[in-house]
Structure 1
């Protein structure tokens, strides 16, 4: 084969490869990857809320995200890997938002109030999605990874409670038990969709949690600065 023929053959090979490459959504490959992942996360969240994790396939998620089915595997090996990626992303976003909100107040009582409100306003897709409980359909390794994300948030709550105990605003108590009870209360509550009713429900939940950790009723109900 002549040199020119080889160049032409190489050109045709490269051209064929380029045609088969997925279209880049953003201005760079990294932006494209991030946008694709975000589309997959949004699709997973919507489908989970509608059907439950167990009833959703990767093909369903790819279709809802308008992403090629084979392209999904460039990002995630399977559905559980996608779930872990989604929860990692959501946890990072939530923790950053929570820490910003907590940085605006220094009083442990007000920080606990802020924590309760942030948790109450958090999307509850994992708690209210139809179908089996996530813990019953996931592998042990995936459950352990999800637990690690929960620990990140629990660490913040422990920090608030210990600060309140040190300053004597909360009575001495078993912090580990209190953390479990508070999170069970918050994760098990289903808030009304009506804005006024929702606000009243959050107020009641906030006051209940504060009283449960030993904050005086008047402070729990009205706050330390009112």
Structure 2
């Protein structure tokens, strides 16, 4: 019988999932999603290959679970940052700054773009996670337009344009230029939506 880590079966399952998530992100940053196998991930996590199947039937399921977890964590962090910020322009600044804090593991991973190596079903499920974050931006922009802080504009066009600005690789992960890049991005987005 395999050794249980943590104080309970629930803790064991969660700790195992966290190890698998960490291994997935590490391997993706080294080789890209298409170049790794579930066996590679199990080995990097220090978990028996067959034990992985108790958690995930394949690596796409693992990827979806990881992104679900990360999205839930990010949305909770974003909502906490927005809590108590009433001005829609300040909410938009907060949204931009929070987006800048995200690690771009999947955008920076070597190998082909994930959309070219995943099944249609997985791509659709990943898109659902992006929509959760887009709904927050949609809410901010709508409040800005309704209050008169932003000019009227087509929200369904503006949301992907704003997020395209924020998903670029133009913001360094660290160093002297990071804060300047965040400020420049923030200013650009605010001008683009008519807040400045």
User: Which TM-score applies when normalising by structure 2?
Assistant: 0.98
Distance in 1 (CA, whole Å) between partners of 2:60 and 2:156 is 29
Q: Higher relative contact order at CA 8 Å, sep ≥6: structure 1 or structure 2?
A: 2
Alignment correspondent of 2:148 = 168
Aligned to 2:187: 207
1:1-226 equivalent positions in 2, closer than 5 A = 21-216=1-196
Moved more, 187-196 or 204-213: 187-196
Per mean C-alpha deviation after superposition, the further-off stretch among 171-180 and 185-194 is: 185-194
TM-score normalised per structure 1? 0.85
Unaligned 5+ segments in structure 1 are: 1-20, 217-226
Deviation, 1:191, is: 1.8
Deviations 1:185-222 (A, max 9, x none): 11123322443210100000000000000012xxxxxx
Is the radius of gyration larger for structure 1 or structure 2? 1
Q: CA RMSD in A?
A: 0.9
Q: CA deviation at 1:96?
A: 0.4
Aligned-pair CA distance for 1:104 = 3.2
